[in-house]
Amino acid sequence: MAIESDVLVIGGGLAGLTSALSAARSGADVRLVSYKQSTLRNASGLVDILGYTPNGEGPLTDPYDAIPDLPSEHPYKTVGLETVRESMELFDEVTPQYRGSHTDTNALLPTHGGTIKPTARYPAGASAGVASDSRDVLLVGLESMTDFNAEHAAAHLDAAGVPFDVRGETIRFPGELRADAKVTRYAKMLDTNSEVTVRGRKKPVREAIAELVNTEIENESRVGFPAVLGDDHTAEIRQELGEKIGADVFEVPMGPPSLPGLRLEDRLFEALDEAGGMFETGNPVEDFEAEDGHIEHVLVEKNGAMVPYSADEFVLATGGLVGKGINSDREGVFEPIFDCHIDHSEDRYDWFDTEAFGDHPFASFGVTTDDRLRPLDGSGDLEFENLRAAGSVLGGYDFAAEKSGSGVSIATGYEAGNHAATEAQ
Amino acid sequence: MASVPHIAVIGGGSTGIGIARDLSMRGVDVTLVEQGNLTHGTTGRMHGLLHSGGRYAVADQKSATECIEENRVLRDIASHCVEMTGGLFVKRPEDTEEYFQKKLEGCKECGIPAEVVSREEARQMEPHLAKDIDKAITVPDGAIDPFRLVVANAASAKEHGARIETHTKVTDLLVEDDEVVGIEVEHASGAGKHVHGVEGGTEEIYADYVVNATGAWAGRIGDMAGVDIEVRPSKGVMTIMNIRQVDTVINRCKPKGDADIVVPHETTAILGTTDEEVDDPEDYPEKQWEVDHMIDTLSELVPMLEDARTIRSFWGVRPLYEPPNVGSDDPTDITRDYFLLDHDERDNLQGMTSIVGGKFTTYRMMGEEISDHVCEKFGIDAECRTADVPLPGSEDFSVLRDYMDEFGLRSPIGRRSVERLGSRADEVLKTDGPNPTVCECEGVTRAEVQDAIDQSGSDLNAVRIRTRSSMGNCQGGFCCHRMANELYGEYDELTTREAWDELLQERWKGQRHALWGQQLSQAMLNYAMHAATQNRDNDPADGTPIDFSAFDNGQAVTTGDDAGATDVATDGGQHGD
């Protein structure tokens, strides 16, 4: 018997999860299939809506203000300002661990690169670090962690003109960790509050860390650590450290593997489960069958067999170049599952700018859609009547330059999921 | 003339640095100046082949004989820079038997050990060779790290008292009465190690003799004294693959041709190359067809290259020279031999000799010849010792020790560190603190990066070439900021930020020629990490000041299951301004 559902979402990142969630909450029978770990593990866990305009103006104080002036091909223009707001309401509702919903104004958050970036929502764990708070900060680095040098980050924040005094100190993480220990290893020790030996005496690791920080802290009322403060018990760890140190504790978002990104992914899968959505991970969608511009089913590879998954409506949320929802070879750029049209120059030397942070066309590669997020072919006709696209697989915006990745995924995921649910019922 | 003459050497590539080492070992005072980093010119832009001489065994037997001699010397004095991979000249069915036989005989005539192997034997050695090749000739080709070799030569020259100035550009030759008496230079950042943001300045360096070892740039130095040096720069592309598809150097056995060699180098394989004359060694077109040509043509020898991932491409400029009366049209016909141009004999300009042409593999021999020439002028009777005394890092280094326990390094990283450092491993890796990995692709640890910073100042590109950090598959995506983190402390934040941005820009430069498939995906990930997460493209520290009070200060966040900041200040963030 074929596997059937009203809506089938392909992709388990922020766009796919939001899309499945919004379709499920609209009452549709939803199934999400994803292949590999999503790109959320690469993301800082900060949820940006819009930090800079496509012309590089910013940091923007109010992301919503700038949306009406975006170019027409921008996904925010496709879904419209009201949808962006509604989608953020859904996000806020399902992620009580996030902050920033009390205002339309962007926050400026320090990151491990040592500078600050504008963002619309931030994990509670990062909230005591906002740069517009004027309390002094002590950043604490870990000697073995090459990704974050607290003294360097502090000096860099100071150069960025933050309105507080900031200092960095480096400690050696207590316990017998290898020099190359992964962030998950630190997190695990903190989650379980493992015993470590300090100068011959055994004590819980959280206490040992607090003692080390207490020898360094002066009168700072905020203390920032790299984002390794637990995976399952992050709030509890922060609170305990905060009480022992006598300051608000926060995490500085980091690059991959990013615990805040993974925590967000976990939370959204949980929310999808609560909303009654089905999901399965680990098997790729390899092919599909369609008739008269209508997709009948996709074929999922399972242990070498091709299993058909049929649905009324399909959502393509497979990601961009990083997530491999968009792929390329020496001849061109393509969308690998449905071969949806991707607008690009035939000369691959037109795909990039010569400056590292120039205006890179490749950053905006993706499918073009109608106003209901359905991919269009090269002549502007629908590829399929029952396929919608969401997230980074969409073209027309450079999320890295704009700092708009999460917001576009949430807004287009929400819209695609809603439309799909409506059409399917 | 002083009893110990002072010689100025211009050019910090393999030739110049080889001369500096040789002369300083003979007790001569040497100052070497280089406009960029060491290896900034052609030396840093080659495929890393340690020639057996096989490539020249038919058409240029003098060069071939020199190559095999120097091949043996370098294996001895520079063991930590050389990997003896062996090489194959592979004949495909469409390549002529006649040329195959000529190659074999030529090798024998030049003293290059060469044996014929059957298709089956060749494919046992290299399983990814095409199924339809005919046969092959084995030769002792190898891979050599040009950066490591030049840095080791520089270290040796310094030990013998030489002064080495990088980021120091010659702006003029000092000429008095038809004699070159020195050079005028401009330091990018003051004498000594290169440090960003340190005021540079000009300096007149008087010398008893000047050696122009600037390769493809030799004509520019000649112009400063009004002498013509007709270097014919010829560009060649090299494309780096993400893995070693082959462990042996693979040459195509046919007369001349583009895209006829694959050199395994560290974790990568390098495809080469083209040969096209250019007007300007610093400004020439880099074209897509050249990269495509490498992949398409070399796939005839190694079919898996067709769909393999390339991580970047780069171009180098050969400093070819031919005497004025030859007049070859095609740069592939120009000899690879080197020429010593004594401007006194040639142009009635005393006090300077230029050395042009030649190959990386014979850099030491060129250094020896020009050092002999200089010593003769000053009546110095000193033996050349560069062929006998191992380079720093290659002394007493017969067995790779297991450093894993000793230095707490994971085994593959320990092995690679020790291979790079050679006999300096003890000195560099013994540190007090933990020694985490900075560059995972290339297995480079903090201790190595710190050692390179000690040697080269605040220039992270110089750290890169010394350690290979940021030169692997991710092309610096995951480690550029880590390298900057290592630099901070020794240098201040602004200096660090400038060095970091330079490194990012340099890493981007070569990747642009590999942007499709997985490497385009990697480039997008790098861009996202650097721009979206780190905000390196819009760093407020670089731009106009921000009004922090206009942004969310984290208030009204005390609801929910997970209380956040409390007791926030309410002045909107003007404290301290």
Q: Parallel, antiparallel, or unpaired: how do β-strands A137-142 and A166-171 relate?
A: parallel
Is it true that the peptide bond before A281 is cis, omega within 30 degrees of 0? no
Helix (H, G, I), strand (E, B) or coil at B430: coil
Q: At B472, give phi and psi (nearest 5°).
A: -95, -155
- Chain B residues whose beta carbon lies within 8 Å of the beta carbon of residue A146: 436-438, 446, 479, 482, 485-486
Burial of B380 (0-12, 13-18, 19+ CB in 10 A): middle
First to last CA, chain A: 22
CATH superfamily of B6-42+147-230+336-377: FAD/NAD(P)-binding domain (3.50.50.60)
Report CB contact under 8 Å: B560, A400: no
Q: Could you give the 3-state DSSP secondary structure of residue B285?
A: coil
- What tens-digit pLDDT sequence spans chain A (425 residues)? 578 999 999 999 999 999 999 999 999 999 999 998 778 888 999 999 999 999 999 999 999 999 999 999 999 999 999 999 999 999 999 999 999 999 999 999 999 988 999 999 999 999 999 999 999 999 999 999 999 999 999 999 999 999 999 999 999 999 888 888 889 999 999 999 999 998 889 999 999 999 999 999 999 999 999 999 999 999 999 999 999 999 999 999 999 999 999 999 999 999 999 999 999 999 999 999 999 999 999 999 998 899 999 999 999 999 999 999 999 999 999 999 999 999 999 999 999 999 999 999 999 999 999 999 999 999 999 999 999 999 999 999 999 999 999 999 999 999 999 999 999 98
B305: its two tokens: 């290259």
Q: How close A423 gets to chain B, by Cα (Å)?
A: 34
CATH class entry, domain B82-143+234-318:
alpha beta
Interchain proximity B446–A146, CB inside 8 Å: yes
Find chain A residues with C-beta within 8 A of B560's C-beta: 96-97, 99, 124
CB-based contact (8 Å) between A164 and chain B?
A: yes
Q: Which residues of A touch B470 (CB under 8 A)?
A: none
What residues of A are in contact with residue B557 (Cβ under 8 Å)? 99-100, 102, 124, 127
Contact status of A346 with chain B (Cβ, < 8 Å):
no
Amino acid at B471: M
Instruction: List, for residues B511-528, the tens digit of each pLDDT value.
Output: 888 999 999 999 999 999
**Hey, what are B146's tokens?**
């040009």
- Start-end of CATH 3.40.50 domains in chain A: 112-252
How many Cβ atoms sit within 10 Å of the Cβ of residue B224? 17
Cis peptide before B285 (omega within 30 of 0): no
Q: Could you tell me which CATH number the domain at A112-252 has?
A: 3.40.50
Nearest-CB residue to B562 (from A97, A117, A143): A97
Shortest CB distance from B551 goes to which of A43, A105, A180?
A105
- Say yes or no: A336 contacts chain B, CB-CB below 8 A: no
- Which CATH number, 1.20.1250.20, 3.60.20.30, 3.50.50.60, 3.40.50.720, labels domain A3-100+261-424? 3.50.50.60
Cβ-defined contact of A113 to B481 (cutoff 8 Å)? yes
What does the pLDDT look like over A166-198, one tens digit per residue? 999 999 999 888 888 889 999 999 999 999 998
Cβ pair B520:A135 closer than 8 A? no
Q: Which residues of chain B lie closer than 8 angstroms to A342, CB-CB?
A: none
pLDDT at residue B575, as a whole number: 38
Q: How many CB atoms lie within 10 A of CB A52?
A: 24
User: B62-93, pLDDT tens digit by residue?
Assistant: 999 999 999 999 999 998 899 999 999 999 99
The 8-class DSSP code of residue B538 comes to G
The ranges of chain B annotated as CATH 3.50.50.60 are 6-42+147-230+336-377
**For the packed helices B460-467 and B146-159, what is the interaxial angle rounded to 10 degrees?**
100
Which of B54-58, B216-220, B384-388, B571-575 shows the lowest mean pLDDT across its residues? B571-575
Residues 6+ apart with CB under 8 A from A243: none
Q: Which of B441, B448, B562, B577 to mutate to test the interface with A (most CBs of A within 10 A)?
A: B562
**What's the gap in Å between the CA of A258 and the closest CA on chain B?**
11
User: What pLDDT sits at residue A137?
Assistant: 98
Burial (Cβ within 10 Å: 0-12, 13-18, ≥19) of residue B289: exposed
Name the residue facing A132 among B485, B551, B557 (closest C-beta): B551
Report the amino acid identity of residue B345: E
Residues, chain A, total?
A: 425
A 281-300 near B (Cβ less than 8 A):
none
Give the distance from residue A188's alpha carbon to the nearest chain B alpha carbon, in angstroms. Answer: 19
Strands A122-123 and A98-99: antiparallel
Residues in A 354-383 with any Cβ partner in B closer than 8 A: 354-357, 360, 362-363
Evaluate whether A260 touches A123 at the Cβ level (below 8 Å): yes
State the Cα–Cα distance between residues B57 and B65, nearest whole angstrom: 8
Q: Is the pLDDT of residue B273 over 80?
A: yes
Contact between residue A134 and residue A163 where contact means Cβ atoms under 8 Å apart: yes
From chain B, pick out residues whose CB is under 8 angstroms from the CB of A116: 535, 540, 546
Which of B523, B552, B575 is opposite residue A134, by nearest beta carbon?
B575
As a whole number of angstroms, the distance between CA A251 and CA A243 comes to: 16
A177: distance to nearest CA of chain B, Å? 10
CA-nearest of A406, A378, A409, A374 to A391 is A409
Do the Cβ atoms of A107 and B551 come within 8 Å?
yes
The answer to whether A256 contacts B529, with C-beta atoms less than 8 Å apart, is: yes
Q: Taking CB atoms and an 8 Å cutoff, what residues of chain B touch A270?
A: none
Return the structure tokens found at B238.
Answer: 């090299």
Query: Which residue pairs, CB below 8 angstroms and at least 24 apart, start in A300-304?
Result: A300/A33
- Nearest residue on chain A to B410, judged by CA atoms? A180
C-alpha B299/C-alpha B307 separation (Å) is: 9
Length of chain B: 577
In this complex, the residue of B493, B538, B555 whose CB is nearest that of residue A159 is B493
pLDDT at B347: 94
How distant is the Cα of A24 from the closest Cα of chain B, in angstroms? 24
Planar angle of CA A185, A186, A192, nearest 5 degrees: 90
Sheet holding B338-342, edge to edge: B163-165, B29-33, B6-10, B209-212, B352-357, B338-342
Own/partner pairs, B426-429, CB within 8 angstroms, 24+ separation: B429/B403
Q: Do B438 and A146 touch (CB under 8 A)?
A: yes
- Whether residue A133 and residue B561 make contact (CB cut-off 8 A), yes or no, is no
The CA distance from B448 to the nearest CA of chain A, in Å, is 13
Residue in the structure block whose two tokens are 């819980």: A204
Name the pairing type of β-strands B87-91 and B6-10: unpaired
Distance of CA B143 to the CA centre of its chain: 13
Of A96, A329, A355, Cβ closest to residue B562: A96
**What pLDDT score does B566 carry?**
40
What's the pLDDT score for residue B326?
Answer: 81
Contact B555/A102, CB-based, under 8 Å? yes
Is A329 in contact with B575 (Cβ distance < 8 A)?
no
How far lies A254's CA from each of A214, A222, A240, B201, in Å? 24, 18, 22, 41
Task: Locate the chain A residue with the closest alpha carbon to B306.
Answer: A330
Interface of B with A in 508-527 (CB under 8 A): 508, 512, 515-517, 520-521, 523-525, 527
Tell me the pLDDT tens digit for each residue of B301-321. Answer: 999 999 889 999 999 999 888
CATH 3.50.50.60 region(s) of chain A?
A: 3-100+261-424
Chain B residues in contact with A106 by the CB 8 A cut-off are 551-552
Strand B29-33 to B6-10 pairing = parallel
Q: Which of residues 177-236 of A touch B (CB under 8 A)?
A: 178-180, 221-222, 235
- Predicted confidence (pLDDT) per residue in B393-418, tens digit: 887 544 334 444 455 555 567 777 87
Question: Which residue from A143, A163, A250 is facing B574, i.e. has the nearest CB?
Answer: A163
- Give the SS3 label for residue B168: strand
